[in-house]
Every structure is written in structure tokens, then in C-alpha cells.
Homo-oligomer: A and B are copies of this chain.
């Protein structure tokens, strides 16, 4: 523990800090929950985009990792042999990139269209690989996924008919269930009825899914109540954020990631300006309520980031006796941590005020090349 690694001395701002003790507690809690209920935990890496953390999730018992983008899958293939790309593999370039993942990776994709089946089947066949497929159901979120069970069964049959594809299961995302954990009953009931109906019709049709993949961070601790679900894919739980707290899926003490910022101006009375704005925090709501702001201070929860420009965050001091000095440093608990990670290149892991390690956000971006 060298003095030089005190983050207050060495870090320019804005900088992303991760409290390792909190993160480890978050990871362990979800792993224990999965083990207790016999559920396969397949964490979504979109939140951390880091092979270090992906490896830690695997070590704690995760069945595999979930990715959204081809680049996330490429980066996670360095630490995991079982990857789900929970995103339609549409387009020859995207499908080919997925098919080109290392051969030792067991790859599954989720999809909802005949076009995606054709694209993935063709790409997989051309490299002699077999790819698992979850047929995505819309159980109320109305984003991707087939609302009609007949159409989902027909798609599963299309998948099963492709030699390069393996019908592995069904997937859904309960992203519309964002009520407080204790107020989710009504929506979970409706979701359960739709899931029951879908599963019984799949069974009657003779295309029984081996895996039923659902679950999110907001519904994390109620996954075991969703009858039929065998696998869940929470992402945000690794770090948590103000939204997870508002939903009741964690406490404020479970927020592991903060943005370190410097007060750069106090010239206008009633406020202080920090160097974390939309380009460090993102313009993400908690629930969209008046006055909730875009983040709150770890040490002064009554102070929120009320307005932002690209590199400025305006702290509203009206509810606080605290009066910061120019040059003072603060830590912001963000509204939506997945966006914060995506906006920054490096994360600093701290324990007791000391930087223990830093790592790049390895799967940030798209792995794009300059093509001309």
C-alpha cells in the first residue's frame, strides 16, 4: 500500500472508481442466490465490459456470460467458454463476426425473426460451427421478441431445421417490470401467465425449450418466483446505481461505482459546478421525477446534479448546508451505471481509499477499425 496509489493524489477527474469490497459483495450475493435456488446465473457484461470481472463472475459459479454486441463477445471469449449473445444476429457482417468467435466457445444467440435465423445459420454453416438459439418471446416489454406464441413455435421449428443451429430454449426480458421489488406482484403475475401459456404450448407442439432465460437486475431477487425460468441475466447488480436503489433491489451501500469529480466553479451562488457532465455521467433518469437530477453525491446525498452540459455538472446546494470550495473533490453515485461505464475508458478499483488496480473498459466501443 504505497502513498502514491492514494486516488486523491494520482487521479485526474472525472474518473471512475469502483469500491472492490462492495463489488465483491454484490457478486457473491447474486451467486449465492442462484445456487440457493438452483438457477443458472448468466451475468450480462454490458454493465462492466471487463474480462477481469467476467472471469470473477465465472469463478463464483456463473454458467456463462451474456453479451449484447459482437465486440463484447470477442472480449469475453478470452475468459469464458459459454457465451450468450442476447441480441438478434441480423446482417451478414454481424453474424459472420459472431461465427468467427474462437471454436472452444459454446455460442448461443437470441433472435425473433426468420431473417436472423437465415443470417446466423448461413454464417455458422460457412465456418462449420453449430450455434445454439433461444427464440425470444415478448412477455410484456414490447421491445424485441415475438408476442404470438404460434409465431415463436414456428420460428423454433425453423431453427431446428437448420443443421448449423440448435434450438436451445426461449428467452425473454422483463424490462417493463421496474416497480419497487415489493410492488412487482401484479406485473409478475401477468408475466407468469403469459410464460405458462407459452411453455405449455411449446410442450404441446413438441419443441420443448431446454432453457428458459429471463430475469434482470430489477427483478433479480424474485427470479425464483418465476415458475419455469431456469436462467437469469442480470447486469447492473455488479455495481448497482441510484435506479437499483430506487427499485429496492439493493441499498445505497451496495452502490459500488462512483464518479470522482472536482469542483471547478462556485461563482454562481446556490450551486457548485463539477467536471462531470453528460460526457461522464450520461443524461439518464432514475424515474423521470422532477428534481431527481442525474446523480447524487456519495458523501452528501441531499446534493444532486441538477443540470448538465457536456463537461459540466451543476450541483444544487439548496437542500444542503455543505458549501464546497473550488478544487474540492466529490464522488457522484450515478443514475444508470451501464452508461457511465460506456462513457469512460478506465476504471479504478479502490479499497479503503487506495487504488488497488486499474483496468481499461476493454469491451467499450465496437472494436471498430478505420476501414479506409
Contacts and interface: CB of A to CB of B under 8 A. Distances in A.
Q: Which of A97, A285, A358 has the most CB of B within 10 A?
A: A358
Contact of A311 (B5, B69, B93, B359): B69
Interface stretch (A57-65, A191-199, A257-265): A257-265
A372 B344 contact: no
Q: How large is the interface on A (under 10, 10 to 19, 20 to 34, 35 or more residues)?
A: 35 or more
Nearest to A9: B93
A267 B115 contact: no
A346 B369 CA distance: 7
A312 interface: yes
A15 B320 CA distance: 44
Contacts of A339: 278-279, 310
A93 B329 CA distance: 13
Interface class of chain A by DSSP: loop
Interface in A1-60: 5, 10-15, 46
Given A283-B283, A369-B346, A311 B90 contact: no
A331 interface: no
A186 interface: no
A293 interface: no
A296 interface: no
A102 interface: no
A257 to B, nearest CB: 16
A179 interface: no
A204 interface: no
Contacts of A357: 372
Given A69-B311, A368-B15, A371-B10, A279 B345 contact: no
B265 A310 contact: no
Contacts of A359: 370
Interface string A218-259: 000000000000000000000000000000000000000000
Interface in A87-106: 87-88, 90-91, 93-94, 97
Interface stretch (A143-151, A159-167, A205-213): A143-151
Nearest to A309: B143
Interface string A279-293: 100111100000000
A343 interface: yes
A366 interface: yes
Interface in A348-372: 348, 355-360, 365-366, 368-372
Contact of A314 (B69, B87, B143): B143
Given A68-B311, A360-B370, 11 more contacts: A12-B70, A90-B326, A91-B327, A142-B271, A145-B268, A147-B269, A283-B284, A310-B342, A342-B343, A345-B366, A357-B372
